[in-house]
Structure 1
Amino acid sequence: MGRSLRSKSWLFDGPLIVLAWWAAFWLRFNLSLPQPYFDQALRTTPVALACMAAGLLLLRVPRQSWRYVSLADLRHLAAGVALGALLVTAAVLGWRIGGFPRSVFLISALLTLLLLAGARAAWRTLAEYTQAHARTDAAQQPLLIVGTIDEADQALRTLKGVEGWHVVGIASPRAQDAGRTVQGVRVLGSVGALDELARAQQTATVLLASAPGEPTRREVLMRWSGSGLNLLTLPTADELLRPGAAARLRQVRLEDLLGRTPVQLDAAGLAGLISGATVLVTGAGGSIGAELCRQVARLGAARLVCVDVSEYATYRLEQELRQAFPAMEGVYYTANVREAERLRAIALEHRPSVVLHAAAYKHVPLMEAHNEIEALRTNVLGTLHAARVAGEVGAARFVLVSTDKAVNPTNVMGATKRLAEQVVQAVAAEFAGTQYVSVRFGNVLGSSGSVVPLFTAQIELGGPVTVTHPDIVRYFMTIPEAAQLVLQAGLMGQSGQIFVLDMGEPVKIVDLARLLIRLSGKSEAEVPIAFTGLRPGEKLYEELLADDETTEPTPHPKLRVAKVAAAGGDVVRATESWLAAAGAAPEAAAIRDWLHQRVPEYRAQPVRF
Structure 2
Amino acid sequence: MNLINYIFQIPRPAKRAVSLTLDTLFISSAFFAALFVRFDSLEPLLTADNWLLLLSTLPLTLLAFIRFGLYRAVLRYIGPHAALTVLVGVSVSVLVLVLASFFLHLPVPRTVPFIYAAFLLILVGGSRFVVRAIAMQGKKRGRERVVIYGAGSSGRQLATSLMHGKEYEPIAFVDDDENLQGNFVLGRPVYAFKELQGLLLDRTVRRVLLAMPSLSRSTRSKIIAKLEPLSVEVLSIPGSADLVSGEAKIDELREVAIEDLLGREPVEPKPQLMSANIFDKVVMVTGAGGSIGSELCRQIIKYKPKMLILYELSEFALYSIDSELKRTIDKQKLDVKVRPIIGTVQRQNRVETVMRTFKVQTVYHAAAYKHVPLVEYNIVEGVRNNVFGTYYTAEAAVNAGVETFVLISTDKAVRPTNVMGTTKRIAELALQGLAKRQSATTFCMVRFGNVLGSSGSVVPLFREQIKKGGPITVTHKDIIRYFMTIPEASQLVIQAGAMAKGGDVFVLDMGDPVKISDLAIKMVHLMGLEVKDENNPHGDIEIKYTGLRPGEKLYEELLIGDNVEKTSHPRIMTANEVSLSWTDMFKLVDELDEACHNFEIEKIQKLIKEAPTGYVPSSELCDLVWKERPAYREGSNVVGLHTTL
What is the TM-score when the length of structure 2 is the normalising length?
A: 0.64
SS in 1 for 2:383: helix
Matched, 1:216 2:222: yes
SS in 2 for 1:361: coil
* Pairing of 1:95-106 with structure 2 (within 5 A): none
Separation in 2, partners of 1:142, 1:160: 15
Q: Is the 8 A contact 2:397 2:405 kept in 1?
A: yes
Select 2:555's aligned residue among 534, 541, 548. Answer: 541
SS in 2 for 1:439: strand
Q: Is the 8 A contact 2:405 2:442 kept in 1?
A: yes
Matched, 1:567 2:580: yes
Which residue identity is paired with 1:291? Answer: E
Separation in 2, partners of 1:217, 1:458: 25
Task: Spell out, residue by residue over 1:221-246, the C-alpha distance to the aligned partner (whole angstroms, 9 max, x if none).
Answer: 5324x52x543145165x57989456
Matched, 1:463 2:470: yes
Going from structure 1 to structure 2, the CA distance change for 1:231 and 1:586 (only over 3 Å counts) comes to same
Q: Is the 8 A contact 1:263 1:485 kept in 2?
A: no
SS in 1 for 2:579: coil
* Pairing of 1:225-236 with structure 2 (within 5 A): 226-227=231-232, 229-235=233-239
Deviation at 1:433, TM superposition (A): 3.0
Matched, 1:378 2:385: yes
Select 1:255's aligned residue among 254, 259, 263. Answer: 259
Task: Spell out, residue by residue over 1:355-413, the C-alpha distance to the aligned partner (whole angstroms, 9 max, x if none).
Answer: 000000111111123x1121111111111122222233232321110000111111111
Matched, 1:530 2:547: no
Going from structure 1 to structure 2, the CA distance change for 1:544 and 1:582 (only over 3 Å counts) comes to same
Matched, 1:577 2:590: yes
What residue ranges of structure 1 are gaps of 5+ in the alignment? 1-128, 147-151
Separation in 2, partners of 1:131, 1:404: 61
Separation in 2, partners of 1:606, 1:354: 38
SS in 1 for 2:550: coil
What residue in structure 2 maps to residue 604 of structure 1? 617
Task: Spell out, residue by residue over 1:311-365, the C-alpha distance to the aligned partner (whole angstroms, 9 max, x if none).
Answer: 1111211221222223532111221001111110111111122100000011111
Select 1:441's aligned residue among 442, 448, 467. Answer: 448
Identity, in percent, stands at 38
Bigger CA drift: 529-538 or 212-221? 212-221
What residue in structure 2 maps to residue 194 of structure 1? 196
What residue in structure 1 maps to residue 504 of structure 2? 497
What residue in structure 1 maps to residue 315 of structure 2? 311
Separation in 1, partners of 2:390, 2:227: 40
Matched, 1:347 2:360: no
What residue in structure 2 maps to residue 368 of structure 1? 376
What residue in structure 2 maps to residue 284 of structure 1? 288
SS in 1 for 2:394: helix
Separation in 2, partners of 1:132, 1:299: 50
Select 2:339's aligned residue among 320, 324, 331. Answer: 331
Select 1:207's aligned residue among 200, 205, 210. Answer: 210
Q: Is the 8 A contact 2:436 2:581 kept in 1?
A: no
Separation in 1, partners of 2:611, 2:312: 28
Deviation at 1:199, TM superposition (A): 8.7
SS in 2 for 1:486: helix
Which residue identity is paired with 2:343? Answer: A
What residue ranges of structure 2 are gaps of 5+ in the alignment? 1-79, 86-128, 164-169, 532-538, 623-645
* Pairing of 1:16-415 with structure 2 (within 5 A): 144-145=148-149, 156=153, 164=161, 169-172=173-176, 178-179=178-179, 191-196=193-198, 204-207=207-210, 209=212, 210-214=215-219, 215-220=221-226, 222-224=228-230, 226-227=231-232, 229-235=233-239, 237=241, 244-245=247-248, 250-251=253-254, 252-326=256-330, 327=334, 328-369=336-377, 371-415=378-422
Which residue identity is paired with 2:228? Answer: M
Separation in 1, partners of 2:454, 2:303: 23
Separation in 1, partners of 2:189, 2:564: 45
Task: Please give the root-mean-square deviation of Cα atoms over the aligned residues, in Å.
Answer: 3.6
Going from structure 1 to structure 2, the CA distance change for 1:414 and 1:202 (only over 3 Å counts) comes to closer
Task: Spell out, residue by residue over 1:80-121, the C-alpha distance to the aligned partner (whole angstroms, 9 max, x if none).
Answer: xxxxxxxxxxxxxxxxxxxxxxxxxxxxxxxxxxxxxxxxxx
Q: Is the 8 A contact 2:431 2:503 kept in 1?
A: yes
Going from structure 1 to structure 2, the CA distance change for 1:464 and 1:562 (only over 3 Å counts) comes to same
SS in 1 for 2:608: helix
Separation in 1, partners of 2:399, 2:482: 36
Which residue identity is paired with 1:344? Answer: E
Q: Is the 8 A contact 2:413 2:424 kept in 1?
A: yes
Select 1:426's aligned residue among 418, 422, 433. Answer: 433
SS in 2 for 1:528: strand
Deviation at 1:601, TM superposition (A): 1.4
Separation in 2, partners of 1:261, 1:487: 19
Q: Is the 8 A contact 1:211 1:217 kept in 2?
A: no
Deviation at 1:159, TM superposition (A): 7.0
